Amino acid sequence: MDQQVVTTDEFTTAMASIQEALASLRQEIGIVQTTIINDAHAHMDRIEQHMRQLRVSDSSVVWDDLEGMPVASLLAKFRMPDIERYTGIGCPRIHLRLYSIVMRAHELDES
Protein backbone atom coordinates (compact mmCIF):
# COMPACT_ATOMS: atom_id res chain seq x y z
CA MET A 1 0.00 0.00 0.00
CA ASP A 2 2.85 2.39 0.79
CA GLN A 3 4.28 1.88 -2.68
CA GLN A 4 0.97 2.94 -4.25
CA VAL A 5 1.02 6.14 -2.18
CA VAL A 6 4.61 6.88 -3.26
CA THR A 7 3.72 6.20 -6.91
CA THR A 8 0.69 8.50 -6.67
CA ASP A 9 2.80 11.23 -5.05
CA GLU A 10 5.46 10.87 -7.78
CA PHE A 11 2.76 11.01 -10.44
CA THR A 12 1.22 14.13 -8.87
CA THR A 13 4.64 15.79 -8.66
CA ALA A 14 5.43 14.89 -12.26
CA MET A 15 2.07 16.25 -13.47
CA ALA A 16 2.58 19.50 -11.56
CA SER A 17 6.04 19.84 -13.10
CA ILE A 18 4.64 19.22 -16.60
CA GLN A 19 1.88 21.79 -16.03
CA GLU A 20 4.45 24.37 -14.91
CA ALA A 21 6.59 23.64 -17.98
CA LEU A 22 3.56 24.01 -20.27
CA ALA A 23 2.57 27.30 -18.63
CA SER A 24 6.12 28.59 -19.05
CA LEU A 25 6.17 27.45 -22.68
CA ARG A 26 2.82 29.17 -23.37
CA GLN A 27 4.21 32.38 -21.90
CA GLU A 28 7.39 32.14 -24.04
CA ILE A 29 5.33 31.46 -27.17
CA GLY A 30 3.18 34.49 -26.38
CA ILE A 31 6.30 36.65 -26.01
CA VAL A 32 7.71 35.39 -29.32
CA GLN A 33 4.40 35.96 -31.11
CA THR A 34 4.19 39.49 -29.69
CA THR A 35 7.77 40.17 -30.83
CA ILE A 36 7.01 38.90 -34.33
CA ILE A 37 3.87 41.03 -34.52
CA ASN A 38 5.78 44.09 -33.28
CA ASP A 39 8.58 43.43 -35.80
CA ALA A 40 6.01 43.12 -38.58
CA HIS A 41 4.40 46.40 -37.54
CA ALA A 42 7.80 48.10 -37.43
CA HIS A 43 8.58 46.75 -40.89
CA MET A 44 5.25 48.03 -42.22
CA ASP A 45 5.96 51.45 -40.68
CA ARG A 46 9.33 51.58 -42.49
CA ILE A 47 7.66 50.63 -45.77
CA GLU A 48 5.05 53.35 -45.27
CA GLN A 49 7.81 55.89 -44.62
CA HIS A 50 9.55 54.84 -47.84
CA MET A 51 6.27 55.13 -49.73
CA ARG A 52 5.88 58.71 -48.46
CA GLN A 53 9.36 59.49 -49.79
CA LEU A 54 8.37 58.23 -53.22
CA ARG A 55 7.95 60.95 -55.80
CA VAL A 56 7.38 61.11 -59.54
CA SER A 57 9.47 63.49 -61.63
CA ASP A 58 10.20 63.58 -65.36
CA SER A 59 8.03 60.48 -65.89
CA SER A 60 10.30 58.47 -63.56
CA VAL A 61 9.72 57.08 -60.09
CA VAL A 62 12.34 58.27 -57.57
CA TRP A 63 12.99 57.63 -53.88
CA ASP A 64 14.72 60.32 -51.84
CA ASP A 65 16.23 58.01 -49.23
CA LEU A 66 16.71 54.30 -49.86
CA GLU A 67 18.74 53.11 -46.83
CA GLY A 68 20.45 50.36 -48.79
CA MET A 69 17.45 49.36 -50.89
CA PRO A 70 18.24 48.40 -54.49
CA VAL A 71 17.62 51.20 -56.96
CA ALA A 72 15.86 50.95 -60.31
CA SER A 73 14.72 53.79 -62.55
CA LEU A 74 11.32 52.95 -63.96
CA LEU A 75 8.98 54.91 -66.15
CA ALA A 76 5.87 56.17 -64.39
CA LYS A 77 3.71 54.15 -66.82
CA PHE A 78 5.72 50.98 -66.07
CA ARG A 79 3.72 47.75 -65.67
CA MET A 80 5.36 44.62 -64.32
CA PRO A 81 5.27 41.83 -66.93
CA ASP A 82 2.94 38.95 -66.13
CA ILE A 83 5.35 36.30 -64.88
CA GLU A 84 4.11 33.14 -63.23
CA ARG A 85 5.23 32.95 -59.59
CA TYR A 86 7.44 30.12 -58.45
CA THR A 87 5.29 27.74 -56.39
CA GLY A 88 8.06 25.55 -55.02
CA ILE A 89 7.25 22.79 -57.49
CA GLY A 90 9.86 22.12 -60.14
CA CYS A 91 13.37 23.41 -60.59
CA PRO A 92 13.97 26.94 -59.24
CA ARG A 93 16.89 27.46 -61.66
CA ILE A 94 14.63 26.88 -64.66
CA HIS A 95 12.12 29.34 -63.20
CA LEU A 96 14.86 31.96 -62.70
CA ARG A 97 16.11 31.39 -66.25
CA LEU A 98 12.59 31.96 -67.62
CA TYR A 99 12.21 35.06 -65.42
CA SER A 100 15.50 36.40 -66.74
CA ILE A 101 14.45 35.78 -70.36
CA VAL A 102 11.15 37.64 -69.85
CA MET A 103 12.89 40.55 -68.11
CA ARG A 104 15.51 40.74 -70.86
CA ALA A 105 12.76 40.75 -73.51
CA HIS A 106 11.22 43.78 -71.75
CA GLU A 107 14.71 45.36 -71.45
CA LEU A 108 14.49 45.23 -67.65
CA ASP A 109 17.58 43.14 -66.97
CA GLU A 110 20.69 44.75 -65.53
CA SER A 111 23.14 43.26 -68.05
User: For the segment 67-99, what is each residue's pLDDT rounded down to a tens digit?
Assistant: 555 566 667 777 777 778 888 888 888 888 888
Residues ≥6 apart with Cβ < 8 Å to 99:
83
Domain coverage including residue 70 = 2-77
**Helix or strand run (H / E) with residue 59:** none
pTM for the whole structure = 0.31
Same domain, 20 and 61: yes
**CA–CA distance, 34 with 72 (Å, rounded to integer):** 35
Residue 11 or 34, more confident: 11
Bridge partners of residue 55, in order along the sequence: 62
Residues 31 and 49 in one domain: yes
**In terms of domains, do 87 and 105 share one?**
yes
- Backbone torsions φ then ψ of 88, nearest 5 degrees: 95, -5
- Identify the band that residue 111 occupies on the pLDDT scale cut at 50, 70 and 90: very low
E-strand ranges in 29-97 read 54-57, 60-63
Confidence at 63, pLDDT banded by 50, 70, 90: low
- Residues 66, 14 within the same domain: yes
- Calpha distance 47→101 (Å, rounded): 30
Q: 3-state class of 85 per DSSP?
A: coil
What would the pLDDT profile of 42-54 be if each residue is shown by its tens digit?
778 877 776 776 6
Same domain, 97 and 87: yes
Number of domains in the chain: 2
**Residue 72 sits in the same domain as residue 42:** yes
Please indicate, yes or no, whether residues 97 and 52 belong to a single structural domain of this protein: no
Query: Is the domain of 58 the same as that of 21?
Result: yes
